[in-house]
Amino acid sequence: MEDLKSQIIKHNFSFKKSLGQNFLTDTNLLDSIVNLAGVDENTTVLEIGLGAGALTKALAKKAKKVYGYEIDRSLKPVLDENLSGLDNIEITYLDIMKEKLDLLEKKVGDDYFVVANLPYYITTPILMNFIEKAKKVKSLTIMVQEEVAKRLVSKENTEDYGAITVSIGSVANAKIIKRVPKEMFTPRPKVDSAVVRIDMDREKFGSFNKEVLRDTIRCAFNNRRKTLSNNLMNYFKFSREVADGILQKAGIEKEKRGETLSVEKFIELSKVIEEVKG
Ligand code: SAM
């Protein structure tokens, strides 16, 4: 593959910071991400944000098929050149957030892995969309800013623990599999990144009402500094008595704050709330 900088000049492409365009070129790094994602010849992959296609190429060499979404059509000449000769790639030039998930999953057909160096400005909405709504996604291996990575994998009673940690932890298992220094990107971003692998495990806590859990999480982290009892009163408009009764039934001390509850406890609490709300 021709040097990225000369290609960019040749195709008259200019990086758009607003689209989170920080590209990777190191083939060893890219191959190791593909390996750590567990991609093999039976895997169908969805890549979000192809950039100049370096990760796409590493994926296509190993996977059965790669479906890619790229918002910036001006990358087409670069991608056409870099991915020529690989016949298992299908690219859609579209904002991934504008694609209907059910249509995307119909097109992809099989169960699939998401593998992506995500644009930082939209990491959380993309991630939550797939975690909460996608039916056929088996795992997501994503490069994100290191600070976001820490939030995705954190444990209760830490500063990094928050709504997104609990949402992911309720249906999946997440771990950091690689740290990637900012020097690896062109252009170089301000902060380091990390690769997080999230394996879906939808039944890990049995069945529960996802809507009520979502509300419970919002309620608990609405105002992190407040006790759960106060947040329950504010968010659900329960009286003090009802709020404290719910906490007692869920086996949670009423002075506790949301960030002290394990994911399992959050699910228990959401079940009691559902019961009380009827
Ligand atoms: N995969 C490439 C790599 O690793 O070098 C590029 C990663 S770069 C961090 C993110 C890419 O996502 C950019 O190419 C950007 O144009 C694209 N992108 C940004 N927002 C997008 C969106 N909403 N839908 C699809 N692609 C998007």
pLDDT tens column, 209-260: 999 999 999 999 989 899 999 999 999 999 999 999 999 999 999 899 999 9
Residue type, 149: A
Best probe residue, ligand 1, of 15, 19, 130, 180 (max atoms within 8 Å of C-beta): 19
What is the rounded CA–CA span in Å between residue 51 and residue 69?
10
Tokens at 138, concatenated: 């088996």
Q: In terms of Cα–Cα distance, which of 271, 128, 163, 272 is closest to 209?
A: 271
Q: What is the best residue among 18, 32, 70 to mutate for testing ligand 1's pocket, by most ligand atoms within 8 Å of CB?
A: 70
Overall average pLDDT of the 18-32 stretch: 97
Mean pLDDT for the stretch of residues 65-73: 98
pTM given for the model: 0.96
User: How many angstroms is it from 218 CA to the middle of ligand 1?
Assistant: 29
Residue nearest to atom 22 of ligand 1 (CA): 95
Q: How far is CA 178 from CA 144, 147, 150, 195, in A?
A: 11, 13, 12, 5
Structure tokens at 218: 């919002």
Q: Which atom of ligand 1 is nearest to the CA of 23?
A: 5
CA pair distance 261, 270, nearest whole angstrom: 12
Count of all residues that appear for the chain in the document? 278
Q: Closest Cα to atom 1, ligand 1: which residue?
A: 50
CB 31 within 8 A of CB 58: yes
Looking at every residue in the chain, the average pLDDT score rounds to 96
Q: Which residue among 11, 34, 50, 188 has the greatest number of ligand 1 atoms within 8 angstroms of its CB, and so is best to mutate?
A: 50
Task: Tell me the two tokens of residue 219.
Answer: 């309620």
- Once rounded to an integer, what is the mean pLDDT over residues 8-29? 95
Atom index in ligand 1 nearest the CA of residue 185 equals: 5
Between the CA of 166 and the centroid of ligand 1 the distance, in Å, is 26
Does a cis peptide bond (omega within 30 degrees of 0) precede residue 187? yes
Ligand 1 centre to CA of 126 (Å) is 12
pLDDT surpasses 90 at 104: yes
